[in-house]
A = this chain, B = another copy of it.
Amino acid sequence: AVWASAAAAQTDPLPSWSDGPTKQAIIGFVTDVTREGSPDFLPVAQRIATFDNDGTLWIEQPIYVQFAFALDRVRELAPQHPEWSRTQPFKDVLEGKMEALAGLGEHAAVEIVATTHAGMTPDQFLQIVKNWLATAEHPRFQRRYVELLYQPMLEVLSYMRANGFATYIVSGGGIEFMRAFAPEQYGIPPEQIVGSSIVTTFERRDGLPDLFRLPKVNFVDDGPGKPVGINQHIGLRPVAAFGNSDGDLEMLQWTTEAGKRRLGVVVRHTDAEREYAYDRDSKVGRLDKALDAAVLDRWAVVDMKHDWKVIFPFEKR
């Protein structure tokens, strides 16, 4: 801890974080497990850190970014589907009834995602998402979604990688949706992204072998699915995990309840002015059980309003 303070005084690896227990929890952990001879030392191969995406690395209000994408896709594809003007849930989307959509059951949400995310190759889907991200704007901030990443978390990603950690995204969002921006925006390559997926199938079309995305759920990387997805993709239990909602509960428990020096961090949205304030009663990113568990399991809880000097990169001078 002495060394951490000394190092921090020289060049602060987390300049957008206010001094305090949360920042110290992160720096203290990294210092302890990377110091040769420390009882908590971890070889590089075991330095696996997992990060939830929506609400942990970028904005998720008023609706998940991927759902905003799906709604725009419905509008774009509508001319080829005249029947949607009289079929739910598409009718509500096309008539802009956002209140109705907010209360959508899971089935309707899955139907919208499946319809708008399937029927093409992974390469084609990647390009569709990239094109959308290049122009679509957040309704409140009037900025592209890739500008609404959390600057303090970008610093955590860089800081941990500089200390030999592999930084994985482990998100309930679509694995191929995230591959359209995570490599460029977070410096996380496609093979270090774990997410939900739809079924893909190998086929020859027009004589060429390719994969095709089908409107059928393959894997849901959320809640208890996160440890399963991590084990499948990485094959090691993480030593640090970052999340913001009850969907991260099992990942955080599995990571930290190992009887060793581990790090669990919960990002709590407490800043209605600069971003949003929500937790136990939110439909998007509900943080209830995991907030109670944070006390029990001694996870660091980020108070965005007080712990983060800036929220988004564009706020930096």
Binding site for B on A (CB under 8 A): 45, 122, 166, 175-176, 179, 189-193, 197, 200-202, 208-211, 224-225, 227-228, 231-236, 250, 253-254, 257
Contact = CB atoms under 8 A, between A and B. Distances in A.
Contacts of A233: 191, 233
A235 B190 contact: yes
B250 A202 contact: yes
Contact of A209 (B190, B211, B227): B227
A253 B210 CA distance: 9
27 contacts: A45-B189, A122-B231, A175-B232, A175-B235, A176-B235, A179-B235, A189-B235, A190-B234, A190-B235, A190-B236, A191-B192, A191-B233, A191-B236, A193-B235, A200-B231, A201-B224, A202-B224, A202-B227, A202-B250, A202-B254, A208-B257, A209-B227, A209-B250, A209-B254, A211-B227, A211-B254, A233-B233
Given A190-B234, A234-B190, A201 B175 contact: no
A106 B297 CA distance: 46
B253 A209 contact: yes
A235 B195 CA distance: 12
A289 to B, nearest CB: 13
A213 B12 CA distance: 44
A6 B181 CA distance: 42
Contacts of A224: 201-202
Q: How many copies does the complex hold?
A: 2
Contacts of A234: 190-191
Contacts of A250: 202, 209
Nearest to A234: B191
A202 B201 CA distance: 27
Contacts of A197: 232
Contact of A228 (B211, B228, B257): B211
A140 to B, nearest CB: 31
Contacts of A191: 166, 191-192, 233-236
A84 B59 CA distance: 56
A250 B208 CA distance: 11
Nearest to A176: B235
Contacts of A209: 227, 250, 253-254, 257
Contacts of A190: 234-236
A45 to B, nearest CB: 7
Given A122-B231, A200-B232, A211-B254, 17 more contacts: A122-B235, A175-B232, A175-B235, A179-B235, A190-B234, A190-B235, A191-B192, A191-B235, A197-B232, A200-B231, A202-B224, A202-B225, A202-B228, A208-B257, A209-B250, A209-B253, A210-B254
